[in-house]
């Protein structure tokens, strides 16, 4: 729990030497602070930590603990279904939905109450839950289908998902949830008995109320004992489940009520199955619970979910990728700066006569001085895409930064998606401003049509996303999946779009219309210069330029896609932030180099090419997505599941193309402006 910190300022006279060195000392302290923040981000990347502002829940012995259920999930279909879509026991008071945020609904989470109830630190066994009536033909078929598709049951206790351990050779594998059942030699067995093991840690009151002063002058003030604080209390730090298939006698449970003791001993052996399911046969459910005191402390209780197998490979792969790409980017940057600097220095060192003679014998990029700022084809579309790219890139950077600082931890379901939506809407101001100001710059200050550009910027990417997600949502609706967005949520999203995002984008466009446009340093000729015939198609080089940015993120992309499609938890947001910064740098460098190469061969049509030089990384990401579908998601079954995967991949690729293309275009625009501002050519 965070404690308040009070600091008392101490004043003393400063000597003249200290006063003179004060700016240096302040600069050193600022540098040290940034180093500290960077190290904190890197450290938190590999070690899960809890959401700031969350507090542990203290339970006394005998206090009731309620288990919640989430949607049934499977990596074979990627379509979640409601827990109560299968013939499971329902709670006595009826099924009730838990409070859900926008992100949970968009992710398909449906958290509901369950009949499982425990008492803190009270072991119980052979607890009868219920007996489901005879299975109908439809229930039997859907149960077999869910078992064939390897659906997992997800339980939650005190915000901790149930975890299951399986031993393989010499190490343990961790899984969240447990399977609905198993098929052995054409016979379907169901796991109808659960053995729960809850890990608890004794509640520890903090012994410090506040800290006064800093450094060696720190003063500890003990807390004042409160009435009842000496009572033992415990925190839940682990939730394990072992599923078993037990053959129950249907006649022996007649007359039993929920939570009564089962009349005979139950031996739970996870290595054997004994409960085959048959049409017209009832199902009996039981469970047992044990509590175990653990050394795991409450802030570290998510480590079991975050530290999955392969963590060392993840660290090595990411660091190796960062070093290689940083080295390549450094080489590109050095070569590029030396080449341009040599051209400029050579020209500036000449006297006036030599400059005049040189102007008559211009070659390379100097020949396109009268066409380099000629308006591109479809300028409005370019402005709209750049504006949306700024909005998406800003949303990604801010979201990942907050996630790296721990404000969007896995413990808070849905906060990542909710945060992305919030930041995207707020950054509509930036999208409108950049799109309209670029439009006025291309039009040499003309304000005509700025409102149309701002309106289209507010609707371009959200409109395409809405079309893709609506099509996929109809598929989910047809499959009766909980991943389908409810109609009420559709209305909410549309209201957020048109009542918040669109007005903010128009406000940003108004600011862009009033801001001074960027004045070109050279004049544009009335007649465009003919472009010499090239040895090879320039677009071929543009499309190939995306390989270098792709190399910066393809390893991290594997872990991200595994977390989305394989049910794993992604938590290394510190690494992701570093990879994103490196990606931005590489995209800028690649676009700069290609723009310079095009200008050197007298090709002045650099606007769209600079955008797609870095934006072409999206093509390789989409190809990688198809490769991931074919080789890593081999068990993905059905055309609906494949369509959902490709649809979401297309949505992701479009967002990445706009963000990376914007980086490339803005960096190239700055470079061209700087290049032709540095030397006067008539």
Report which DSSP code applies to 546: T
Indicate if the alpha-carbon torsion angle 132, 134, 139, 141 is positive or negative: positive
- Sheet containing strand 160-161, strands side by side: 112-119, 64-69, 155-157, 160-161
Q: What is the CA radius of gyration of the chain?
A: 31
Global pTM reads 0.82
Find which of 244-253, 351-360, 576-585, 655-664 is predicted with most confidence, using mean pLDDT: 655-664
Residue with tokens 């967002």: 655
User: pLDDT (tens digit, 9 = 90+) per residue, 624-646?
Assistant: 999 999 888 877 777 888 999 99
Average pLDDT over residues 521-548: 82
Give the phi and the psi of residue 680 in degrees, each rounded to 5. -90, 115
Of 461 and 404, the structure prediction assigns the larger pLDDT to 461
* 105, two tokens: 């609904």
Residue 36's CB is within 10 A of a number of other CB atoms, namely: 10
Residue 21's CB is within 10 A of a number of other CB atoms, namely: 13
Residue 589's CB is within 10 A of a number of other CB atoms, namely: 22
Residue 527 burial class via C-beta count within 10 angstroms: exposed 0-12, middle 13-18, buried 19 and up: exposed
Looking at residue 208, its pLDDT comes to: 35
Looking at residue 463, its pLDDT comes to: 95
Calpha distance 664→546 (Å, rounded): 11
Report which DSSP code applies to 85: G
Give the bridge partners for 495, in sequence order: none
Of 23 and 528, the structure prediction assigns the larger pLDDT to 528
Range in 111-125, 339-353, 354-368 the model is least confident about: 354-368
User: pLDDT (tens digit, 9 = 90+) per residue, 574-600?
Assistant: 888 888 988 998 899 889 888 888 888
Q: Which residues contact 630 (CB under 8 A, 6 or more apart)?
A: none
Calpha distance 526→374 (Å, rounded): 9
pLDDT at position 211 over 50: no
Q: Among 474, 462, 453, which residue's Cα sits nearest to residue 420?
A: 462
Give the bridge partners for 157, in sequence order: 67, 160
- 309: helix, strand or coil: coil
Calpha distance 640→460 (Å, rounded): 27
| SS3 letters across 582-638 | HHHHHHHHHHHHHHHHHHHCCCCCCHHHHHHHHHCHHHHHHHHHHHHHHHCCCCCCC
Calpha distance 652→654 (Å, rounded): 5
DSSP H or E run through 56: none
User: pLDDT (tens digit, 9 = 90+) per residue, 177-203?
Assistant: 999 999 998 899 999 999 999 999 988
Q: Among 397, 390, 675, which residue's Cα sits nearest to residue 512?
A: 390
Task: For residue 408, give Cα distances in angstroms to 1, 41, 159, 396, 423.
Answer: 18, 14, 14, 13, 13
Q: Are the CB atoms for 657 and 615 separated by under 8 Å? A: yes
Q: What are the residue ranges of helices labelled H in 49-110?
A: 102-107
Range in 246-255, 277-286, 395-404 the model is least confident about: 246-255
Looking at residue 658, its pLDDT comes to: 97
User: pLDDT (tens digit, 9 = 90+) per residue, 102-119?
Assistant: 888 888 888 999 999 999
Find which of 11-15, 183-187, 551-555 is predicted with most confidence, using mean pLDDT: 183-187
Q: Which residues contact 419 (CB under 8 A, 6 or more apart)?
A: 103, 399, 402, 403, 407, 408
Range in 311-325, 410-424, 551-565 the model is least confident about: 311-325
Average pLDDT over residues 58-77: 91
Looking at residue 318, its pLDDT comes to: 66
Of 30 and 250, the structure prediction assigns the larger pLDDT to 250
Calpha distance 84→180 (Å, rounded): 12
- 322: helix, strand or coil: helix
User: pLDDT (tens digit, 9 = 90+) per residue, 607-618?
Assistant: 999 999 999 999
* 58, two tokens: 């203290």
- 679: helix, strand or coil: coil
Looking at residue 21, its pLDDT comes to: 45
Q: Are the CB atoms for 641 and 74 separated by under 8 Å? A: no
Local confidence band at 368 (pLDDT 50, 70, 90 cut-offs)? confident
Q: Are the CB atoms for 153 and 83 separated by under 8 Å? A: yes
- 324: helix, strand or coil: helix
Q: Among 598, 605, 583, 595, which residue's Cα sits nearest to residue 663?
A: 583
- Beta pairing, strands 283-293 & 193-202: parallel
Calpha distance 188→182 (Å, rounded): 6
User: pLDDT (tens digit, 9 = 90+) per residue, 25-44?
Assistant: 444 444 444 444 444 444 44
CB environment 349-388: b (16+ within 10 A), e (fewer): eeeeeeeeeeeeeeeebbbbbbbbbbebeebbebbbbbbb
Residue with tokens 């449970």: 253
Q: % helix / strand / coil in the chain, to the nearest 5?
A: 50, 15, 35
Q: Give me the percent of the chain exceeding a pLDDT of 90.
A: 43
Looking at residue 601, its pLDDT comes to: 82
Local confidence band at 487 (pLDDT 50, 70, 90 cut-offs)? confident
Local confidence band at 680 (pLDDT 50, 70, 90 cut-offs)? low
Residue with tokens 């079309």: 467
| SS3 letters across 635-648 | CCCCHHHHHHHHHH
Q: What are the residue ranges of helices labelled H in 447-532?
A: 450-478, 487-496, 502-514
Q: Which residues contact 121 (CB under 8 A, 6 or more apart)?
A: 61, 62, 200, 234, 291
pLDDT at position 333 over 50: yes
Looking at residue 449, its pLDDT comes to: 84
Q: Are the CB atoms for 329 and 589 separated by under 8 Å? A: yes
What is the pLDDT of the chain when averaged over all its residues?
A: 81
Residue 17 burial class via C-beta count within 10 angstroms: exposed 0-12, middle 13-18, buried 19 and up: exposed
Q: Are the CB atoms for 239 and 66 separated by under 8 Å? A: no
Residue with tokens 């801001």: 515
Q: What is the largest CA-CA distance in the chain?
A: 110
- 105: helix, strand or coil: helix
Q: Are the CB atoms for 663 and 585 separated by under 8 Å? A: no
Local confidence band at 49 (pLDDT 50, 70, 90 cut-offs)? very low
* 276, two tokens: 């085959």
């Amino acid at each position: 729990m965070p404690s308040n910190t009070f600091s008392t300022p101490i004043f003393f006279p400063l000597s003249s030497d200290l006063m003179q060195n004060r700016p240096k000392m302040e600069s050193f302290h600022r540098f040290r602070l940034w180093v500290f923040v960077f190290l904190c981000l890197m450290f938190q990347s590999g070690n899960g930590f809890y959401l700031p502002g969350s507090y542990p829940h203290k339970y006394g012995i005998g206090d009731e603990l309620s288990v919640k259920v989430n949607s049934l999930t499977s990596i074979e279909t990627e379509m979640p279904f409601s827990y109560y879509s299968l013939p499971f026991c329902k709670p006595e008071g009826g099924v009730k939905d838990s409070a859900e945020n926008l992100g949970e609904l968009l992710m398909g989470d449906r958290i509901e109450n369950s009949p499982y109830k425990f008492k803190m630190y009270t072991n119980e066994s052979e607890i009868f839950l219920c007996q489901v009536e005879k299975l109908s033909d439809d229930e039997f078929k859907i149960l077999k289908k869910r078992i064939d598709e390897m659906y997992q049951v997800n339980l939650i206790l005190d915000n901790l998902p149930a975890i299951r351990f399986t031993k393989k050779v010499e190490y343990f594998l961790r899984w969240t949830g447990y399977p609905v059942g198993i098929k052995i030699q054409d016979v379907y067995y169901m796991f109808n008995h659960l053995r729960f093991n809850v890990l608890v840690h004794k509640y520890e009151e903090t012994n410090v109320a506040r800290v006064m002063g800093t450094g060696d002058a720190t003063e500890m003030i003990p807390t004042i004992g409160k009435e009842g604080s000496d009572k033992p209390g415990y925190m839940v730090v682990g939730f394990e489940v072992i599923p078993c298939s037990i053959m129950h006698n249907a006649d022996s449970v007649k007359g039993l009520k929920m939570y009564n003791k089962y009349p005979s001993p139950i031996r739970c052996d996870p290595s054997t199955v004994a409960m085959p399911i048959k049409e017209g046969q009832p199902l009996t459910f039981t469970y047992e619970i044990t509590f175990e005191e653990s050394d795991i402390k409450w802030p570290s209780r998510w480590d079991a979910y975050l530290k999955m197998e392969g963590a060392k490979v993840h660290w090595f792969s990411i660091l190796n990728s960062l070093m290689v790409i940083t080295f390549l980017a450094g080489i590109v940057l050095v070569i590029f700066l030396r080449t341009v600097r040599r051209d400029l220095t050579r020209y500036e060192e000449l006297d006036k006569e030599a400059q005049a003679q040189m102007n008559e014998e211009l070659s390379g990029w100097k020949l396109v001085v009268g066409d380099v700022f000629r308006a591109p084809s479809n300028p409005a579309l370019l402005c709209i895409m750049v504006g949306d790219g700024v909005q998406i890139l800003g949303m990604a950077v801010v979201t990942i930064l907050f996630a790296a600082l721990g404000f969007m931890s896995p413990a808070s379901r849905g906060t990542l998606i909710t945060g992305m939506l919030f930041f995207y809407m707020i950054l509509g101001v930036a999208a409108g401003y950049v799109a309209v100001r670029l439009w006025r710059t291309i039009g040499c200050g003309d304000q005509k049509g700025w409102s149309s550009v701002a309106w289209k910027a507010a609707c371009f990417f959200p409109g395409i996303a809405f079309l893709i997600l609506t099509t996929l949502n109809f598929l989910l609706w047809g499959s009766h999946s909980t991943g389908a967005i409810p109609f009420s949520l559709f209305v909410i999203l549309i209201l957020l779009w048109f009542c918040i995002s669109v007005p903010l984008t128009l406000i940003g466009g108004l600011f862009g219309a009033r801001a001074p446009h960027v004045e070109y340093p050279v004049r544009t000729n009335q007649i465009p210069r003919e472009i010499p015939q090239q040895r090879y198609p320039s677009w071929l080089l543009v499309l190939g330029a995306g390989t270098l940015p792709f190399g910066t993120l393809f390893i991290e992309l594997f872990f991200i896609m595994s977390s989305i499609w394989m049910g794993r938890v992604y938590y290394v947001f510190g690494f992701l932030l570093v990879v994103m910064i490196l990606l931005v740098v590489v995209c800028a460098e690649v676009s700069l180099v290609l723009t310079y190469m095009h200008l050197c061969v007298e090709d002045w049509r650099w606007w769209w090419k600079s955008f797609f030089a870095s934006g072409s990384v999206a093509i390789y990401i989409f190809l990688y997505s198809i490769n991931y579908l074919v080789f890593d998601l081999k068990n993905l079954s059905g055309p609906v599941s494949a369509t959902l995967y490709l649809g979401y991949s297309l949505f992701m690729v479009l967002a990445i193309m706009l963000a990376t293309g914007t980086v490339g275009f803005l960096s190239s625009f700055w470079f061209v402006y700087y290049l032709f501002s540095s030397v006067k050519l008539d």
